[in-house]
Chain A
Amino acid sequence: MEPLIKVENLWHIYPVGNVTALRDVSLNINRGELIGVIGQNGSGKTTLVKHFVGLLKPTRGKVYIDGEDTAPLKVQQLAAKVGYVYQNPNHQLFARTVQAELEFGPTNLGLPEDEVAERVEQAIKFFGLEDLRDLHPYRIGFPLRKLVGMASIYTMKPDIFILDEPTTGQDNITTRKVYHLIEKLRDEGATVLCVAHDMILLAEVVERMLVLRDSELIMDGTPRQVFSNHEVMASTHITPPQITILSLRLRKDQQTLDDVVLSVDEMIELTKQSNTGKK
């Protein structure tokens, strides 16, 4: 099967200051994958995903979305396929009501009115925004405003969602809600990329991680592989979830990937297995 996103030897050099932001990155992403993109600010992760939306074009190399070379495509042409949800919803929202905000995308895609209305209803239901539809986006709190940002992309039904720090500034309850929504998006068939520093999101929700450091893709693997790679963790200053580190420290000698736990639930399972083994 043709990958949904195909990146071939991608280089990006920002003309101002001649800064190399991406150096020879190659990767494939298949339909339905749920992926985390991690690395420090300035490592190249935002530069990478901006190529998928058409906001940036390769200096060298190729990016294909659904088999199509993105180089000649405009952002508007990609909007039906790829949606970008900003970290700060204020950079994205501008309409006077939530309802109008949600109508904007599909209307802009040239869809008929009844189709637009149907998609808005679907988005309101999916994100649980029933009580907010007539409010000004700036009148609602930050956590819900972020959901409105996601919903306004959802109405365009893109194949690919790119979520920039979807849980930043959220408390535990809204964070859990966002995790659930990300999984639901994937269950509906979407491909989701989360650019994130939230390690619990990466451990418990995503299935594959792309690690960038100094403009290079230094690792592409499962959360278990990435979190147990000491060299990658240390050189990117990323701290795995506390329970993952606990499992690594308790099983220092006989470490297989199965011993690397990603959640408290998994740690409990591992303890049960170990108890059975002892008896």
Chain B
Amino acid sequence: MSDKKPIIEFKGVTFWYGGANDKPAIKNINLTIHEGEYVALLGLNGAGKTTLQLCINGVIPNSIMGEFEGEVIVYGNDTYDTPVREMAKFVGMVFDNPEFQLSQMSVAEEIALGMESLGFSYDEMTKTITEVLEIVGLRGLEDRSPFGLSGGQQQRLSIASALAMRPKILVMDEPTSNVDPIGKEEIFAVAEQLNREKNMTVIMAEHEVEVMAAYADIVVVMHEGEILLNGTPEEVFSNVDLIHKLGLRMPQVTEYAHRLNQLNLASIKKPYPVTLDSAVERFKDIL
């Protein structure tokens, strides 16, 4: 990882939605993310995942009121004095409820909306719309109403709208929590493809630990506003006791490896397997 370029740096970041007398939503966050990394953010509701994500595009502290301490640097820009509109060129955001993000009469207009505010020409817009719809697999639906799409399609449209601004970083906040299994597959596949083929940095908050363990390079575990674990999926999910204590789930195969050890049914060395394939390999003679 050391040869990779650091592109996001949190330095001692604390944020309070109310005044500094309240409990901060995030507390003394220090975090470096490198270009092209797929980062999974895990934690209970209220752990600070969304707040951390909103700091990346500068919505915090620029558009959301509160007390902000520390520094967030994204591609050399200090978010504190960079307009959010400017940050949109670096950071695309996708939230958990696509209906909140969609407002236009057609799929094409939905994507054009953000580009208009950045002053793209008509030709550029047409070309980009085609391109981003291709990436998310929605070509041919340009004239459809966003509200007539399935949940998975709506969420992919949100991703397309974010991509139209040509960001280098895609921040996703529980993007699959309101879609069905096909929709989930589609969204995870698009995120993975963007990460692998276009070297896009992906920062995803998710409860689906099995999927995150398979896709993410880095897993960050948050609890009550703080980062408690930060490492590869194998490193992070080997901290079984802490993860249990926080009330979080880990991949079921990892849980199994840990229990085998605890009960002396087998001696499984750390790091534990975190994906299905690695577990099949490790446990092939166990039954």
Write the residues of chain A forming the contact surface with B, with a CB cutoff of 8 angstroms. 40-42, 141-143, 168-174, 197, 236-239, 241-243, 245-247, 249-251, 259, 264, 267-268, 270-272, 274-275
B51 interface residue per 8 A CB criterion: no
Q: List residues of chain B with CB within 8 A of the CB of A275.
A: 265
Chain A proximity mask over B261-285: 1 for CB below 8 Å, otherwise 0: 0010110000000001001100110
B120 interface residue per 8 A CB criterion: no
Are B279's CB and A246's CB within 8 A?
A: yes
How many chain B residues touch A (Cβ–Cβ < 8 Å)? Answer: 38
Give 18 A-B pairs besides A142-B45, A171-B44 with Cβ atoms closer than 8 angstroms: A41-B150, A41-B151, A169-B178, A171-B247, A172-B207, A172-B249, A237-B181, A238-B181, A243-B252, A246-B283, A250-B280, A250-B287, A267-B256, A270-B287, A271-B265, A272-B265, A274-B286, A275-B265
Q: Which residue of A lies closest to B248 (CB)?
A: A172
Alpha-carbon distance between A173 and B43 when the two chains are bound, in angstroms: 11
Q: List residues of chain A with CB within 8 A of the CB of B1.
A: none
Q: Which residue of A lies closest to B213 (CB)?
A: A242
B242 interface residue per 8 A CB criterion: no
Given contacts A41-B150, A171-B45, A274-B286, contact A246 B252 (CB under 8 A): yes
Alpha-carbon distance between A250 and B263 when the two chains are bound, in angstroms: 20
Distance in Å: Cβ of A237 to nearest Cβ of chain B: 5
Q: Which residue of B lies closest to A277 (CB)?
A: B287
Q: Could you list some 29 contacts between A and B, CB below 8 A? A: A41-B180, A41-B183, A143-B45, A169-B96, A170-B45, A171-B247, A172-B207, A172-B249, A236-B181, A237-B182, A242-B210, A243-B252, A243-B253, A243-B255, A246-B252, A246-B253, A246-B279, A249-B276, A249-B280, A250-B284, A250-B287, A251-B287, A259-B287, A264-B252, A264-B256, A268-B263, A271-B265, A271-B266, A275-B265
Are B182's CB and A264's CB within 8 A?
A: no
Q: Considering the complex of A and B, which 4 residue pairs feature the smallest CB-CB distances, nearest first?
A: A243-B252, A242-B252, A171-B44, A173-B247
Interface of A is mostly: helix
Q: List residues of chain A with CB within 8 A of the CB of B183.
A: 41
Q: List residues of chain A with CB within 8 A of the CB of B177.
A: 168-169
Given contacts A169-B96, A267-B256, A271-B287, contact A246 B180 (CB under 8 A): no
Q: List residues of chain B with CB within 8 A of the CB of A41.
A: 150-151, 179-180, 183
Q: List residues of chain A with CB within 8 A of the CB of B286.
A: 250, 271, 274
Distance in Å: Cβ of A232 to nearest Cβ of chain B: 13
Q: List residues of chain A with CB within 8 A of the CB of B265.
A: 268, 271-272, 275
Q: How many A-B contacts at CB < 8 Å in the complex?
A: 90
Given contacts A242-B251, A243-B252, contact A168 B207 (CB under 8 A): no
Given contacts A171-B44, A242-B210, contact A250 B283 (CB under 8 A): yes
Alpha-carbon distance between A100 and B255 when the two chains are bound, in angstroms: 43
Distance in Å: Cβ of B109 to nearest Cβ of chain A: 24
Distance in Å: Cβ of A234 to nearest Cβ of chain B: 12
Q: List residues of chain B with CB within 8 A of the CB of A174.
A: 45
Distance in Å: Cβ of B247 to nearest Cβ of chain A: 4
Q: List residues of chain A with CB within 8 A of the CB of B283.
A: 246, 250
Q: List residues of chain A with CB within 8 A of the CB of B43.
A: 171
Alpha-carbon distance between A151 and B263 when the two chains are bound, in angstroms: 40
Are A40's CB and B45's CB within 8 A?
A: no
Distance in Å: Cβ of B201 to nearest Cβ of chain A: 25
Q: List residues of chain A with CB within 8 A of the CB of B252.
A: 241-243, 246, 264
Q: List residues of chain B with CB within 8 A of the CB of A264.
A: 252, 255-256, 259
